[in-house]
Structure 1
Amino acid sequence: MHTRAEVYSPLQNTAVWLAAWLYNVESADETVAALTDLGGPHTYGSLPLSQLLYDVRSAADLESPEPVMRLVLWGPGQAARLRAGSPAMEALTQAGALVLRGGRGLNHILVPEYSGGGVDWRWFEDPEPLPEPEWLTPGEADRLLSQATDQAAMLIEAAGGTSRDLPNPRLAVGTLADFYDTPGLPAGVTPRAAKLFARADRVAATIETVTDRLDDHSFDPHLFALWRHVRSARMAGVADAVVDYRREYMRG
């Protein structure tokens, strides 16, 4: 199993860029460029990305007290917070989905499919209530991720470290951490969210370094337990950034 599919999420930054654009913090041109950097050319069925952006703006309830854009990630030990048996759930890939809050409580679910040729989006609507998200605060998500990371590192160090020359796996991740951070975040992202994203990126890079780059799978049970916390941190960071964009927007 390739680790990156579990710990890397281009949807994290995609969600934040879309929210920054919706709340007039970033321009459409900058947003399109960032989304292209994140996944290559985007299509929306037979339509271009511009039509997807138009539909997103038309559907979004920018004054909703809940985040207008929510990131949904899932994987081992963590169910996707979409309605079981719904068309959106059936279409879901490992990449996850975005939930756009519409008027009158309607949920619009954007499901991407990533391939070597770019990203193709599918749009679903669900009038039924979705399962409640975790709703972790950035502080809670950061604490859980930090605790899980320290515990995994202690277990690895107690077992004698990895079989290759990596005495402290948390330090040997520079180039991969840079990869996870590309192409960066839009303007106005809260320091709390940025810190959470950075920690999630660093933990993700650590896991990939140990399991895939060093081809050492002896500590997989310890490292795989971190996947859920990495995903939860990304979702909590997106929610915090989106809520803050709304707060500034409502202030006028």
Structure 2
Amino acid sequence: MRTRPEVYSPLQNTGVWLAAWLYNVESTDDTVQALTDLGGPHSYQGLPMAHLLADVRSEADLEAPEPVIRLVLWGPGQAATLRAGSPAMEALTPAGALVVRGASGVNHILVPTYRERGVTWRWFEDSERLPEPEWLTPGEADALLSRATNEAAVLIEAAGGTRAELPNPRLAVGTLADFYDTPGLPAGVTPRAAKLFARADVVAATVETVTDRLGDHSFDPQLFGLWRHIRTARMAGVADAVMDYRREYLAS
């Protein structure tokens, strides 16, 4: 099993860019370029990305009390917060989904499929209330991720540490962390969310370096236990960024 799909999804930055665009913080051109950088050309019902953006704009409730864009990630030990047996759940890939909050409580669920030649989107609607996410604050998610990382480090150190077969494992971690951040975040992202994304990137890069680059699976149980906290941190960061855009929008 490769680590990256479990600790990283382009949808983290995609969700934040869509929110920045919806709340008029970023232009359409810059948003399209960022989403293209995140996965290549996008298609929706056989049409270009502009048609997806138009539908998102027409359906999104920008004044909803909940985040108008919500990131859904899932994996081992963590169920997706979509209705079991629903068409959206059946279509879900390891990349996750974005939930757009619409008028009258309708949830518009955007499910992408990432391929080498680009991204294909499917659109689902669900009028029933979705399972509640954890709704952690950035501080709570950061504390959980930090504590889990420290506990894993203690266990690994007590067991004698990992092999260091790379010329510079620390450099490898830094390089991967830079990859996770590409192509960056839109303007106006809260420092709280940016910090949370950065911590999640570093922890994800560390896990990938040990398991995939070093090929050391001695500590898989300790490292795999971090996956849930990495995903949760990413979802909490997106929710915080989206709600801050909402506050600025309503105050203007």
Paired residue for 2:247?
247
CA separation of 1:172 and 1:160: change in aligned 2, threshold 3 A: farther
Paired residue for 1:49?
49
Distance of 1:171 and 1:35 partners within structure 2: 28
Alignment TM-score, normalising by the size of structure 2: 0.98
Does 1:15 pair with 2:15?
yes
1:14-93 alignment, distance < 5 Å: 14-93=14-93
- The percent of aligned pairs where both chains have the same amino acid is 81
By how many angstroms is 1:233 displaced? 0.1
By how many angstroms is 1:9 displaced? 1.2
By how many angstroms is 1:248 displaced? 0.1
Distance of 2:171 and 2:51 partners within structure 1: 43
Paired residue for 2:134?
134
Distance of 1:225 and 1:22 partners within structure 2: 35
| Cα contact 1:170–1:203 (8 A) shared by 2 | no
| Cα contact 1:172–1:209 (8 A) shared by 2 | yes
Q: Which runs of 5+ in 2 are unaligned?
A: none
| Cα contact 1:190–1:241 (8 A) shared by 2 | yes
- Which residue identity is paired with 1:176? L
In the comparison of the two structures, how many residue pairs are matched?
A: 252
Distance of 2:182 and 2:19 partners within structure 1: 18
- Which residue identity is paired with 2:22? L
| Cα contact 1:164–1:216 (8 A) shared by 2 | no
By how many angstroms is 1:163 displaced? 2.5
By how many angstroms is 1:45 displaced? 2.2
- Which residue identity is paired with 2:221? P
- Give the 3-state SS of the residue equivalent to 2:64 in structure 1: coil
- Which residue identity is paired with 1:217? H
- Give the 3-state SS of the residue equivalent to 1:174 in structure 2: helix
Q: Which runs of 5+ in 1 are unaligned?
A: none
- Give the 3-state SS of the residue equivalent to 1:61 in structure 2: coil
Does 1:221 pair with 2:221?
yes
Does 1:237 pair with 2:233?
no
Does 1:197 pair with 2:197?
yes
Paired residue for 1:179?
179
Distance of 1:35 and 1:8 partners within structure 2: 15
Distance of 1:88 and 1:94 partners within structure 2: 13
Distance of 2:95 and 2:154 partners within structure 1: 30
| Cα contact 1:148–1:226 (8 A) shared by 2 | yes
- Give the 3-state SS of the residue equivalent to 1:187 in structure 2: coil
Paired residue for 1:117?
117
After superposing on structure 2, the runs of 4+ consecutive aligned residues of structure 1 that deviate more than 4 Å are 168-172
- Give the 3-state SS of the residue equivalent to 1:71 in structure 2: strand
CA distances 1:181-224 after superposition (whole Å, capped 9, x unpaired):
10000000000000000000000000000000111111100000
Distance of 2:101 and 2:169 partners within structure 1: 40
- Give the 3-state SS of the residue equivalent to 2:113 in structure 1: strand
- Which residue identity is paired with 1:42? H
- Which residue identity is paired with 2:53? L
CA distances 1:25-55 after superposition (whole Å, capped 9, x unpaired):
0000000000000001100021110000000
Distance of 2:206 and 2:169 partners within structure 1: 6
- Which residue identity is paired with 1:230? I
CA distances 1:108-148 after superposition (whole Å, capped 9, x unpaired):
00000001111000000000110001100000000000000
Distance of 2:69 and 2:129 partners within structure 1: 16
- Give the 3-state SS of the residue equivalent to 2:124 in structure 1: strand
Alignment TM-score, normalising by the size of structure 1: 0.98
